[in-house]
Amino acid sequence: MDAPPRGAIGLVRHGETESNAARILQWPDTPLSARGTLQAERLARRLARLPIGRIVSSDYARARMTAECVARATGAPLELDPGLQERNFGDLRGTPYAQLDCDPFAPGYTPPGGESWEDLHARTDAVWERVALRARETAGHLVVVTHGLVCHSLVSRRFELGEGVRAPAGFANTALTWIEPGPPWRVALANCVAHLEDASEARAAGATPRA
């Protein structure tokens, strides 16, 4: 879908990082890898064909760098909102998945010093209210650049699925999800990486909700 409904909101997961590739719970200052930068540039070229009026991004480095690529390509102003940060895994950050003695994504699990699922959902609900207000004030599409678990929290709880749209198991790096203007908010396209033209690059982007 290269022509989303008028006023639709584009929900984007950031590009790949070295920690994504190595399966490590990430720190806030983890930057994009070379592959992640390429993914972000391809996403930006795709969005540059559309009337993008504003970009709102998490202030974590990987999301901000992805959003900056989109801002350069579209000329749209960029705002940072800490409410779009990835789930805080507290004391587990910096740990490879293989070294964990727990499943940090399990329902009901709260990482030491981090956020519970309930905390994350409350935060994403609050930030979506701000996003919706910005969307109403924006001429053109609003693009939101955030993280996999934020996308998962919103799509799995807050939005309806449009006809023929299946709920994704996870969100690939630079995946684009279009949300029709609402309420009710409806997913018109989910987890799309068509801008990663090379098939191997699309596979490398991954499709998990991991942080």
Catalytic machinery residues? 14, 86
Contacts with 18 (C-beta within 8 Å, 6 or more apart), sequence order: 30, 33
The label of the residue with tokens 């900056």 reads 68
Q: Are strands 141-146 and 9-13 parallel, antiparallel or unpaired?
A: parallel
- Phi and psi at residue 157, in whole multiples of 5°? -125, -40
- Tell how many helices (H) and how many strands (E) occur in the chain: 6, 7
Per-residue tokens: 37? 């930068």
CA distance 179 to 140: 13
